[in-house]
Amino acid sequence: MTIGIGLLGLGTVGAGVAAIVASPQGRHPLVAELQLRRVAVRDLQRPRPINLAPELLTGSPEAVVDDPSVDIVVEVMGGLEPARSLILRAIAAGKPVVTANKAVIARYGEEIAAAATAQGVYVLIEAAVGGGIPIIEPLKQSLGANRIQRVSGIINGTTNYILSRMADEGAAYAEVLADAQRLGYAEADPAADVQGHDAADKIAILAALAFGGSVPRAAIPTAGIDSLDARDVAYAAQLGFGVKLLAVAEQVGLSAEGAAELDVRVHPTLLPKDHPLAGVHGVNNAILVEADPVGRVMFYGPGAGAGPTASAVVADILNIAGIRQVERALPPGAVAPLDPLLAGRTWRPCALVDPAGTHHRNYVRLRTTDQAGVIGKIGSCFGEEGVSIQSIVQFQPSVDAAEGAEIVVITHEVREAAFRSALAAIEALPDVRSVAACLRTL
Amino acid sequence: MTIGIGLLGLGTVGAGVAAIVASPQGRHPLVAELQLRRVAVRDLQRPRPINLAPELLTGSPEAVVDDPSVDIVVEVMGGLEPARSLILRAIAAGKPVVTANKAVIARYGEEIAAAATAQGVYVLIEAAVGGGIPIIEPLKQSLGANRIQRVSGIINGTTNYILSRMADEGAAYAEVLADAQRLGYAEADPAADVQGHDAADKIAILAALAFGGSVPRAAIPTAGIDSLDARDVAYAAQLGFGVKLLAVAEQVGLSAEGAAELDVRVHPTLLPKDHPLAGVHGVNNAILVEADPVGRVMFYGPGAGAGPTASAVVADILNIAGIRQVERALPPGAVAPLDPLLAGRTWRPCALVDPAGTHHRNYVRLRTTDQAGVIGKIGSCFGEEGVSIQSIVQFQPSVDAAEGAEIVVITHEVREAAFRSALAAIEALPDVRSVAACLRTL
């Protein structure tokens, strides 16, 4: 039994998928059942990273979707359109879809899932988050017994590479970014990565799976690393913390109507050095799931790259191929409904809470005059808002006293609104020149 | 639609399963479809960790398996018999089985899988390895596109707890073991854990899934931590290594007949401090999978305990429940065959290679006289066998020179047979009092 694959896109991931399908030896025997039937490329003339029979290639992605010999449509072209329309077209044709497209799924996941449910086809997305790390499938199929409390992760390899080098070398953000671009770890336009949007797409997807309902992507508070100062990375290290760009989704309540109330956000975060995520370096990703009764489980591995991402794409193809084998053995006319776990069906509404009401630990760096009594005044401002402080440490940025002092405050877990009020009062103090940095802390 | 669960055993794991089923709120909605129908316990009079209706309990495990209201049989009693016979009895009755029993699966997995295939039922074993960590399901369903090169893991929480404390406190093995027993982290009879047999059971199971064929459990070379000297833990730390009990399964070749040739073993191992597994402390487990094209992925979490293990058991139950929902929607008479991925069907023979032909890095501690020239003689013995050395370091066990010296050698990756020959020659040197310790090194 052969299963026909149609590829939309033949970039690094598409070529990686084609390479796996072309050399099934030593892999699961189902891989040998897969056959590449049609491949849509943007430019038929461009040289390819992989040799394919020219008759497989077409400039028309619609032709791939519509090709009757294509059983599974694999979307690895990226971008919002025409990817979204092509996924919907495949679903409408009753064809299962495998996609690595986090942007489309984060924004149109609900529309796509509804169409897939109506048509009774799977849309699988393992490659959309965490590259080669199995995380979507475990969330769908291995952790269903749990009440998930929190999913937090390092899910953008570019920023983790930059942060790792900033920490190791004490280098400035802009300098490391330029180097990362030269080495191919960051794109020419790095905005989606360094501003946190890519991580926000991914945490929206993880949150929907972990908490059972889709999350409004546009409403996720997102801060990137593009304004991160190397000084804060250095101070954090001195205080026993590493700095990582974390994406977090946490259930903070349950509404009277049964909706999961979620605090979902992306921001640079101080992690204690012994935190499981603190040891994740370079372009690696890791996702930590905290749940009852399992406790803390973590999934770690390469978060991007042709090989890892193709591994995840082909895993999804194999899952559909396995089910296809089952379906083909059914009597004529029998249509197996979707497995509710693999389909990742949502099962309750989810809502984002007002960030002002959430609770966090914070790191604040203040530039102040170098005068006695400043720390006391800052402490009083926090105290008046009920913001409990774990530590206040004065750092001297230079030997020149005229430059003033830098004071770093780490709070306990406090209500965001109270913290912001205290910060406004501190900013108004005559001895305080500026709030130079404000980061979350785990 | 309700799915009837029959529990064989109501120890900590069984009670954990019952607790999840009894409180489905906030978990995947399929949990609410599960109903505990019958529970076999050894002693009907004993007080239970969980309150169950007395009519659910029976002293006869056969009655649970045979009960027509039981759709899925969950074996959490442990031990080889009657667990094996009960699993086979359930299969014969056409009932899917979920088991946490690594000892039975490692020894009778082939027999059980053959029976399950013949009857067309699933036998799922997520809880048998790694406690709450999803590792079985990812190996079966998420990594099939890969050629797996190596699976290595810290898969025994008791020994990892002991080793972590030995490293942190410089304490002796026997002392920490006694403490672990007092705290409930080690059993009164700790042999299965500390001698490495539990880890060997688990690596046999992982190897079968990773490499596609069953592995002869009894032939796995197994060394535990029961003769580990605190001194070696301390020396390793000084040389930049941690000591962990590793279980490793590695493909080293492919026979002319297509059999995967595997090097599978369990032994205390020196890990470089920056190795992903080196940071796994206490009762946690972690499994590292190295494969092409995914690279290195790691799965980390609590390796034992009622909650984590029950999480894995219920995950398997949910997977079967999801498929049961699909099956119930089929036309009368239609029987869906097993999904080849979830069934974990084997697909090629596997054979263990002769350990003498395998290649490893080694750590050796020698007790010698404290005389000039000893290091040269030791180096020569290694050199004559072509064993390449990375470092030779002399440690002074005490200030008293009469006690002699301790010399630690770390080799490069060398052929086991050559290493053993060299060691025999070294042991015969007049200046060498004994080969005091010999450990593997990554």
Question: Is B355 in the A-facing interface, judged by CB distances under 8 Å?
Answer: no
Q: Is residue B269 part of a domain?
A: yes
Distance from C-alpha of B3 to C-alpha of A277, rounded to nearest angstrom: 38
B145 vs A31, A138, A276: nearest CB: A31
Contact with chain A for residue B23, Cβ under 8 A: no
Residues spanned by the domain of A149:
141-301
Nearest to B336 among A132, A311, A326 (CB): A326
Confidence band for A3, pLDDT divided at 50, 70 and 90: very high
Residues of A in contact with B20 (CB under 8 A): 145, 293
Which residue in chain A has the smallest CA separation from B120? A326
User: What percent of chain A has a predicted confidence (pLDDT) above 70?
Assistant: 99
Tell whether B200 and B273 lie within a shared domain. yes
User: Which among A382, A384, A371 has a CA at the least distance from the CA of A433?
Assistant: A371
Are B25 and B110 in a shared domain? yes
pLDDT at B376: 93
Residues of chain B with pLDDT under 70: 397-402
Cis peptide before A349 (omega within 30 of 0): no
> Which A residues, 194 through 233, put their C-beta within 8 Å of a C-beta on chain B?
212
Of B26, B300, B340, the CB nearest to A147: B26
pLDDT tier for residue A64 given thresholds of 50, 70 and 90: very high
Closest chain A residue to B24, measured at CA: A145
Tokens 């084609």 correspond to: A18
Lowest-confidence segment of A37-51, A325-339, A377-391 by average pLDDT: A325-339
CATH number of the domain enclosing B433: 3.30.70.260
B73 and B209 belong to one structural domain: no
Q: Check whether residue B105 and residue B171 sit in a common domain.
A: no
Are B143 and A133 inside 8 Å of each other by CB? no
Query: How far, CA to CA in Å, does A75 sit from each of A20, A40, B145, B394, B405?
Result: 16, 10, 17, 59, 65
> Mean per-residue pLDDT for A393-416?
84
CATH number at residue B221: 3.30.360.10
Query: Under an 8 A CB cutoff, do A141 and B29 touch?
Result: no
What is the average pLDDT across A14-32?
A: 97
User: Coil, strand, or helix at residue A74?
Assistant: strand
* Chain A residues closer than 8 Å to B334 by CB: 330-331, 334
Tell whether A310 lies on the interface with B, counting CB pairs under 8 A. yes
The pLDDT, as a whole number, for residue A207 is: 98
The verdict on A155 and A47 lying in the same domain is no
* Amino acid residing at B236: A
CB–CB contacts below 8 A, A to B:
222
Window 106-145 of A, Cβ < 8 Å to B: 126, 132-134, 137-138, 141-145
Cβ-nearest to A295 among B293, B308, B325: B308
**Per-residue pLDDT for A324 more than 70?**
yes
Report pLDDT digits (tens) over A147-184. 999 999 999 999 999 999 999 999 999 999 999 999 98
How many angstroms separate the CA atoms of B122 and B115, rounded? 10
Q: What is the pLDDT of residue A401?
A: 61
* ipTM for the whole complex: 0.95
Claim to verify: residue B13 and residue B128 sit in the same structural domain: yes
Q: Please, where are the H alpha helices in A190-229?
A: 191-194, 197-211
Please provide the distance, in angstroms rounded to a whole number, between the alpha carbons at the two ends of chain A: 51
**Considering the domain boundaries, does residue B353 fall inside one?**
no
Distance between CA atoms of B39 and A87, rounded to whole angstroms? Answer: 47
- Say if residue A114 is in the same domain as residue A179: no
Q: Find the CB nearest B293 among A16, A146, A339.
A: A16
Domain count, chain A: 3
Residues B47 and B166 in one domain: no
Higher pLDDT, A60 or B45: A60
In this structure, the answer to whether residues B339 and B213 fall within a common structural domain is: no
B352 in any annotated domain: no
Domain match, A107 and A149 both: no
Q: What is the mean pLDDT of chain A?
A: 95
Assess if residue B157 is contained within a domain: yes
Is residue B243 in a domain? yes
Per-residue confidence (pLDDT) for residue A429, from 0 to 100: 95
- State whether A143 and B16 contact (CB < 8 Å): no
Q: pLDDT at residue A319 above 70?
A: yes
Domain of A106, CATH number, reads 3.40.50.720
Burial of A266-281, coded b for 16+ CB within 10 Å and e otherwise, reads: bbbbbbeeebbbbbbb
Are both B32 and B74 inside the same structural domain? yes
**Residue A399 pLDDT more than 60?**
no
Per-residue confidence (pLDDT) for residue B182, from 0 to 100: 94
Contacts of B147 in chain A (CB under 8 A): 26-27
Q: Which residues of A touch B138 (CB under 8 A)?
A: 134, 137-138, 142
> Is residue B326 within 8 angstroms of chain A, CB to CB?
yes
B308: nearest CB among A16, A29, A294: A294
Whole-number pLDDT of residue B99: 98
Give residue A289's pLDDT.
98
Residue A199 in this model has a pLDDT that exceeds 70: yes
The residue of chain A nearest to residue B26, with distances taken between CA atoms, is A147
Residue B69 lies in a domain: yes
| Whole-number Å distance between alpha carbons of B426 and B20 | 58
Residue at a domain's end among B319, B347, B375:
B347
Q: Is residue B333 part of a domain?
A: yes
Of residues B95, B102, B140, B202, which has the active-site annotation? B202
State phi, psi for B74 to the nearest 5 degrees.
-115, 110
Question: What pLDDT shows up at residue A325?
Answer: 85
pLDDT tens profile A262-286 = 999 999 999 999 899 999 999 999 9
Asked if A138 lies within 8 A of B137 by C-beta distance, the reply is: yes
Cα dihedral B204, B243, A239, A157, rounded to 10, equals: -40
Please report residues of B whose CB lies closer than 8 A to that of A275.
none
The alpha carbon of residue B220 is apart from the nearest alpha carbon of chain A, in Å, by 23
Is B85 inside a domain boundary?
yes
Q: For the purposes of burial, counting CB atoms within 10 Å of the CB of A140, is it exposed (0-12), middle (13-18) or buried (19 or more)?
A: buried
B126/A134 Cβ within 8 A? no
Do B300 and A301 make contact, defined as CB atoms within 8 angstroms? no
A202 in active site: yes
Cβ distance of A330 and B334 shorter than 8 Å: yes
Which positions 25-84 of B are in contact with A (Cβ < 8 Å)? 26-31
A181 in the same domain as A72: no
**For residue A29, which residues of chain B lie inside 8 Å, CB to CB?**
212, 347
Tell me which H or E stretch contains A75.
Answer: strand A72-75
Measure the CA–CA gap between B413 and B417, rounded to whole angstroms.
12
Residue of A nearest to B213 (CA): A28
